[in-house]
Amino acid sequence: MKQAEFVNTILPFKDRLYRIAKRYLVSTDEANDAVQEVFLKLWKNKKSLKKYRSAEAFAITMTKNYCLDRLKSKQASNLKIVHSNYQNRDNLEAKIEADDGVALVFKIMDSLPEQQKIILQLRDVEQFEFAEIAKMIDSNETAVRVALSRARKKVRDQMVKQYNYGIQ
């Protein structure tokens, strides 16, 4: 296989190889390096390319395998950092959203009657059992359950009313 034939056969799917490498490696530079390495290997083995039914399928498989090897290798420690930063961005957004939701619940809890607020705090935040809460506030378990139910309903209603929480 001559250079012109190689270029005409392999070069048309360079972008596809890059997209595959980028999906695996996340980093643009690493993806470019992966495509270059695959092209170099293909060039070195250009005489054996004709025995494959599809040079494109072979190149895609080589790219996938090269990327997986890079991710497994000791040289990929910087890739792990990139991947963890990429995942942390999603985690950070979820954490901020969760913190906002918790702050909203506590704000609504402050508007509840004192006994409901205390029972909701003891049960849902502090995780006390109904019997323990009943002893703490000098009441019976049934009254605690009823007050907790009413408190939760008020919190839920306020979240739905003010922020359309849970409605899609």
Concatenate the DSSP letters of all residues of 64-131 into one string: HHHHHHHHHSGGGHHHHHHHHHHHHHHHHHHHHHHHHHHHHHHHHHHTS-HHHHHHHIIIIIS---HH
| 32 lies in some domain | yes
| 27 lies in some domain | yes
Residue type, 154: K
| 85 lies in some domain | no
Are residues 142 and 107 part of one domain?
A: yes
Are residues 110 and 148 part of one domain?
A: yes
| 82 lies in some domain | no
Reported confidence tier of residue 6, pLDDT bands at 50, 70, 90: confident
Are residues 146 and 99 part of one domain?
A: yes
Are residues 98 and 50 part of one domain?
A: no
Are residues 7 and 65 part of one domain?
A: yes
Domain boundary among 11, 42, 72: 72
Q: Give the Cα separation of 124 and 75 in Å (integer).
A: 47
Reported confidence tier of residue 166, pLDDT bands at 50, 70, 90: low
| 89 lies in some domain | no
Site of tokens 């990929």: 76
Range 37-47 average pLDDT: 86
Provide CB contacts within 8 A for 56, sequence distance 6+: 13, 16
| 80 lies in some domain | no
Give the pLDDT score at 168: 52
- What CATH number does residue 116 fall under? 1.10.10.10
pLDDT digits 0-9 by tens, 74-116: 555 555 555 555 555 557 777 777 777 778 888 888 888 988 9
User: Dihedrals φ, ψ of 112, to 5°?
Assistant: -75, 160
- Asked whether residue 32 carries a pLDDT value surpassing 60, the answer given is yes
pLDDT digits 0-9 by tens, 155-165: 888 888 776 65
Least confident piece of the model among 11-20, 91-100, 105-114, 145-154: 91-100
Domain boundary among 26, 41, 72: 72
| 84 lies in some domain | no
Threshold 0.85, pTM exceeds: no
| 130 lies in some domain | yes
Query: What is the helix (H) or strand (E) element at residue 166, kind and residue range?
Result: none
Closest listed residue to residue 16, CA positions, set 49, 69, 55: 55
Q: What is the mean pLDDT of the chain?
A: 81
Are residues 102 and 51 part of one domain?
A: no
Give the pLDDT score at 86: 56
| Radius of gyration of the chain, Cα coordinates, nearest whole angstrom | 30
Least confident piece of the model among 14-28, 82-96, 100-114, 121-135: 82-96
* Full domain range(s) for residue 9: 3-72
- What CATH number does residue 10 fall under? 1.10.1740.10
> Into how many domains does the chain fold?
2
- Asked whether residue 30 carries a pLDDT value surpassing 90, the answer given is no
Percent above pLDDT 90 for the chain: 15
Q: Which residue pairs from 134-138 have beta carbons closer than 8 angstroms and sit at least 24 positions apart in sequence?
A: none
